[in-house]
Amino acid sequence: MASTETRHVADWAVHSADAAGLPFIVVDKVQARLFVFDARGRLLGASAALLGSAAGDASVPGIGTRKLSTIRPDERTTPAGRFMASIDRSLAGEDILWVDYDAAIALHRVIATQPAERRLQRLESRAPADRRITYGCINVPVKFFEGVVAPAFRGAGGVVYVLPEGRSARETFGSYEVGAGSSIRR
């Protein structure tokens, strides 16, 4: 179920044409979920997501050039904002959706190579707090990435709206109420 803020941003993105005729994603950090829409605002899919372990809406300056081992727990945020995103390759050669290249934030398949982190189980948890574990990247189930995210963003890319935790969407995006009759086709 999409939160009020998720619906607000999705409706506004379509009504205002802010998504510029491209597919878009709304990431709800409070609920640790994301919603993928086509260019007309039709919902293509929704999923739980793993997000940065630290609360906050900004990336630490220069974090994208640092080694993971130097990133403190309080710096592991998924930044809020509007990002032009495109499918490209990671350093390991896998396709990922680059969200904020400078901050090294991507949306990608869940990485479950550290069993102690229980990332697959965390994705299944109903508690949003359980899904806060990454260094800032957004992780989704493999099938969801391959079946929904990658096909929607291949080619021209799209827009990713990451909802803030510490302020409103209106402050972050300059969004407005669309009014009666959502422009989102579900």
Q: Quote the pLDDT of residue 184.
A: 58
Run of H or E including 14? helix 4-15
Q: Quote the pLDDT of residue 131.
A: 96
Per cent of the chain over pLDDT 90 is: 63
Query: Residue 180: which pLDDT band, with cuts at 50, 70 and 90?
Result: low
Residue 26 above 70 pLDDT? yes
Mean local confidence (pLDDT), 96-104: 87
Is residue 154 within 8 Å of residue 147, measured between CB atoms? no
User: Which residue in 50, 123, 137, 149 is the catalytic one?
Assistant: 137
The CATH number given to 4-173 is: 2.40.440.10
Q: Is 63 a catalytic residue?
A: no
Which of the pair, 169 or 182, is modelled with greater confidence? Answer: 169
Give the Cα-Cα-Cα angle 43, 128, 76 (nearest 5 degrees): 100
Q: How many CA atoms lie within 13 A of 53 on its CB side?
A: 12
Q: Is 137 a catalytic residue?
A: yes
How many residues does the structure list for the chain? 186
Which of the pair, 135 or 183, is modelled with greater confidence? Answer: 135
User: Where are the chain's structural domains?
Assistant: 4-173
Give the E-state strand segments of 18-163 in sequence order: 24-28, 33-37, 43-48, 51-52, 81-89, 95-100, 105-109, 132-134, 138-140, 158-162
Query: What's the whole-number average pLDDT of the chain?
Result: 89
Q: Quote the pLDDT of residue 8.
A: 94
Q: Quote the pLDDT of residue 9.
A: 96
What digits encode the pLDDT tens for the residues 42-89? 999 999 999 999 888 877 776 777 787 777 778 788 999 999 999 998
User: Which residue in 8, 76, 82, 108 is the catalytic one?
Assistant: 108
